[in-house]
Each structure stands twice: as C-alpha cells, then as structure tokens.
A and B are shown apart, each in its own frame.
Chain A
C-alpha cells in the first residue's frame, strides 16, 4: 500500500503543510528532487509533459519548467529560485506560477532520515496572503485534476 499524504491548510494563515513518507533512503528522495532527469518523471500532473528549461538545485540556484498537454497549445510555466539547499536534509525554494506573476510562495522542504531505509518529506509553503494561497491552488487545480475529475464536475453540473 502507498504511504498517505497529510495536508494541513490552517484557517486564517496562508500556509500549507504537506507530509509524506517514502520507503527509500533519504539520499534517493533528495536526489529525485535534485536531478532534473528524475524530477520530470514525477513532478507535475498525469498526462502533461514536463519540459525543464533550467534546474539548478543548489544554493542560489533556480528553475523554470513548463507543463504542456500532449497535442495542446497551452503551456503552464513555473519558475523560482533555490535559496538554500543542504544535501539529504533541507531546501528552501520560491515558487511562481507565471499565470499569476508576482505571487510568489516560499517553500521549505525537509528531508528526514527515519532510519530503516525510510524518509519523511515535509513541505511548508508560505503564501503572501490567504487569497494568494487559495488562488494559486485553484489555478494549480486546473492543471492537476485527475482525468476523470473534470468530467465528474460536468456530470454534477448537468
């Protein structure tokens, strides 16, 4: 069975916390965040192609990537900087969806060795405002919904 994801979005504070454990050592989880060839295999919604223009997972590094639907014209671009990166331990990055320019979230990622070849990843995201948090997530939804989801909404609206 897969490990559960815990997501906490506190009332009245523009934060989101995400926690997930993995049944692999911390170095593997960290590396899957550092290596762009690996990143593009898992980051982003199903059915979208991820093109990484830049991915320097180092202190004062940065990134930019696009999600494109196969055959679709529209690309969704994201960029940010990696502020701090400490191997197998910690990273701080900014996150900007270019559809909402200048609304930048700051995300800290903690990679925690749980022993026994297990790892906990904890992500704490800080948005400039509650509206920004909810708005950015809503737009993220447009991309991220599972295939059946839009159809479901269509059904419910009918």
Chain B
C-alpha cells in the first residue's frame, strides 16, 4: 500500500474542498442523489454563482462530476473519491501531512535555529543539548530509497 505523491495531491485537494461548510452541505445533499445547481443552491443564502464556484472546487477535487446532460447538467457524487478518504492509511497520512506542515512552518519561522539555539531557549524540562554518541552500531535499518 503505497501512496504516490499524485495521490497525495488528490487527497489534499479533497480535504481542502471539504474544509468549507457550504461544500460539505452540497456533498450531503448529493449523497441522497444527483441534483442541479439550482437545487443545490436552494438551502443556501448565497448566489447561484457562488454555488457554482463551490461545485467547481468539488469537481476539481474529484469529489463530484457533472454529466453532459445539456438540459439539467446534474451534479453527481463521486463515491470512489469519498471512499478513498475513509481508508485508514490515508487518514494516517493526513495526520503526518499536517504535522510535517506544522514542522515546515516552524522551521520556516526560524530557519537559522540549530542545536546551539535550543540551549538558549528557556526550557523548563531538563534536556541536554549534547547527545553522547551511541557508538557505531547501526541499529535497526530503515529501508531507504535514493541513497
């Protein structure tokens, strides 16, 4: 079970798309069956244009599709993408994605901080900046690629 980066991007888009309450509402409505833009706009106090924009976001995230039915162009839920979001490995990945992005942000804040800087911080918990060498044993080896 390997998630390639393009799958990561797709999931990211899906989760970003679902971060908005209107779009979650649209997904909820579509889970009961296809609907037109007009029908989808009804429960929301926003313009049809705004609803169309939300649908475009959902569409580019692969969560919904629009058929070529010229009259109605109903919007359908893409169940496969939603199912993918419920796989534990993807959720696990998202947790790490989120953590690593937080780490990115932290490191970007202070790109110059290094081992010396940490000692200068007022840290209530005892920890030492120096880490004695654990010797030359290699320990468990993580399989690595590209090394």
A residues neighboring B (CB under 8 Å): 2-11, 16-20, 22-25, 27-32, 34-38, 41-46, 52-59, 61, 84-88, 90, 92, 106, 108, 110, 112, 122-124, 126, 134, 137-138, 140-141, 143-149, 151-153, 155-156, 158
Count of interface residues, chain B, beta-carbon cutoff 8 Å = 62
B residues neighboring A (CB under 8 Å): 1-5, 8-9, 15, 18-19, 24, 27-28, 31, 82, 85-86, 88-89, 91-108, 111, 113-115, 117-118, 121, 123, 125-129, 131-134, 139-145, 147
Name the contact of B127 in the complex, choosing from A5, A10, A44, A56 (C-beta under 8 A): A56
A42 touches B102 (CB 8 A): yes
Whether A58 contacts B132 in the complex (CB less than 8 A), given A31-B113, A87-B115, comes out as: yes
A55 touches B125 (CB 8 A): yes
Shortest Cβ distance from residue B137 to the other chain A in the assembled complex, whole angstroms:
8
The residue of chain B having its C-beta at the shortest distance from the C-beta of A86 within the complex is: B134
A28 touches B107 (CB 8 A): yes
Residues of A within 8 A of B101 (CB): 2
Residues of B within 8 A of A19 (CB): 144-145
CA separation between A42 and B106, bound complex, in Å?
A: 7
A141 touches B102 (CB 8 A): no
The total of Cβ contacts below 8 Å across the A-B interface reads 197
The residue of chain A having its C-beta at the shortest distance from the C-beta of B122 within the complex is: A37
B127 touches A35 (CB 8 A): yes
A43 touches B99 (CB 8 A): yes
Residues of A within 8 A of B106 (CB): 32, 38, 41-42
A-B contact pairs, 11 of them (CB 8 A): A7-B96, A9-B89, A11-B1, A38-B113, A86-B131, A92-B140, A106-B140, A123-B142, A145-B91, A147-B19, A152-B85
B24 touches A5 (CB 8 A): no
Whether A7 contacts B89 in the complex (CB less than 8 A), given A42-B99, A44-B99, A108-B139, comes out as: yes
